[in-house]
Amino acid sequence: MSNVLDAVLDNVQIPHQPWVVITDSSTFSGVPLFRELLRRSLARRESTLLIAVVHPPKTLLPRAVRVDEANLKIINLTETVKGYSTEESWQNLHERVLSSLAASGSHVQLFIDALDVLAEDYTPARTIQLIRSLLRTILTLKAPSRLVVVLPHTSSFHPQLLTPTLSSALTLLSPHHPRLLTHLSRIYMKAIEPSPSPAFWQILERSRERRTGENLAWSADEGVEISIDWFEPRGAIVQILIRKSTGGSKGITRILAALTRAVVGLKTVSLSELVSTDPISGPGALSRTMGNEMEIDVPFNLALTEEQRRRRAEVPLPYAHEGEGVGAGAGAGLDWGDEEDDDDDEEI
């Protein structure tokens, strides 16, 4: 549902969600979605704090939007490479981030572009400690304050960020290649719907654990290609999991939505614009295909040429009856008397 994704992008979710995690992949990046959230935050002139760990800030900031420097603060860690430069101590970094957040006002959006790399440099335990401190601070602020991070789903650090003990509220965004969903829908015979069935949702989860999309991209199968900036294809299917702080079965929302490139940034569209929502062929289409030998999907040709048909017509059929016509009855002209007498003698 595009309205659910629009609410996430525009930061108008009800109730407000302060914790957003974007899943990244080596073959289909989540950074374009991260950039779109950052672009819309700056376009609304909201107070924004960007912590750049891997990507230089200029590659994350939008070019088509005039950035108000008064509303933007940047902590650039890209020049701090462990083992190659003067490393900032963890205590200094922790205090620097918290002080920058406090100085950003009562309405602030905080973006961290590579949380897994930060965990590798300063250990996962310290990074979790930082996230807890940031979430506690953001919860004391008013909406629309929130924390947005992006990291690979293959990171061992990823599951720790999704637990309710870290945050009862969660918005998890997982972009997928459109052709991956078409492939899964066809082989498992499940339709692609905005509110997916539990079975298809589990199929998506298992495919992510098995790295199905990455394997297809590296082998160039099923039309799945490596796409870092979503130029080909020009969009993505976003798997959205929203966990509200209220809990319970009604506190969980599972949605599939579509994003495509626009003149500026990204825009939401219907699923049917990127994928065939029901790529499963019905019985009618199957029977029509099987009725024509030319359309049967086999590695050899079953159709006869005109010359082959002519020669086959010239071959006489074996046991063809060329005598007098048979009588009207099915057994006319046949004498069964002797056989019946023999049967009677055997019975005696």
In this predicted model, what pLDDT tens digit does every residue of 187-226 receive, in sequence order?
888 888 999 999 999 999 999 989 888 888 888 777 788 8
Query: For residue 173, which amino acid is it?
Result: L
Rounded CA separation 113/55 (Å): 7
Lowest mean pLDDT among 100-104, 131-135, 258-262, 330-334: 330-334
pLDDT number for residue 302: 64
Check residue 194 and give its pLDDT.
92
Instruction: Report the DSSP pairing between strands 235-243 and 252-261.
Output: antiparallel
* Separation between Cα atoms, residue 140 and residue 49, nearest integer Å: 17
Q: Is the pLDDT of residue 298 over 60?
A: no
Question: Given the structure tokens 């319970």, which residue do they identify?
Answer: 248
| Confidence band of 342 (pLDDT split at 50, 70, 90) | low
Band (pLDDT 50/70/90 cuts) for residue 280 is low
Q: Of 49-53, 304-308, 320-324, which one has max mean pLDDT?
A: 49-53
pLDDT at res. 347: 53
Weakest-pLDDT range from 26-30, 52-56, 333-337: 333-337
Least confident piece of the model among 169-178, 266-275, 285-294: 285-294
Report which of 150, 182, 180, 138 is spatially closest to residue 277, judged by C-alpha positions.
Answer: 182
**% of the chain residues with pLDDT over 70:** 80
Highest mean pLDDT, choosing among 172-176, 264-268, 316-320: 172-176
Tokens representing 175 are: 């972009």
Whether the per-residue pLDDT at 283 is higher than 50: the answer is no
Three-class HEC string of the chain: CHHHHHHHHCCCCCCCCCEEEEEECCCECCHHHHHHHHHHHHHCCCEEEEEECCCCHHHHCCCCCCCCHHHEEEEECCCCCCCCCCCCCHHHHHHHHHHHHHCCCCCEEEEECCHHHHHHHHCHHHHHHHHHHHHHHHHHCCCCCEEEEEEECCCCCCHHHCCCCCCCCEEEEEEECHHHHHHHHHHHCCCCCCCCCHHHHHHHHHHHHCCHHHHHHHHCCCCCCCECCCCCCCEEEEEEEEECCCCCHHHEEEEEEEEEECCCCEEEECHHHCCCCCCCCCHHHHHHHHCCHHHCCCCCCCCCCHHHHHHHHHCCCCCCCCCCCCCCCCCCCCCCHHHHHHHHHHHC
Q: Where are the domains of the chain?
A: 2-273
Q: Which residues contact 113 (CB under 8 A, 6 or more apart)?
A: 31, 34, 50, 51, 52, 53, 54, 55, 60, 150
Across 311-330, average pLDDT:
63
Q: Which residue has the higher pLDDT, 305 or 288?
A: 305
CATH class assigned to 2-273? alpha beta
**Residue range 312-316: average pLDDT?**
82
Looking at residues 291-313, what average pLDDT do you find?
A: 67
Nearest Cα to 5, choosing from 258, 263, 275? 258
What is the average pLDDT score of the chain? 82
Give the confidence band of 309 by pLDDT, cuts at 50, 70, 90. Answer: confident
Higher pLDDT, 193 or 228: 193
Confidence of residue 161 (pLDDT cuts 50, 70, 90): very high
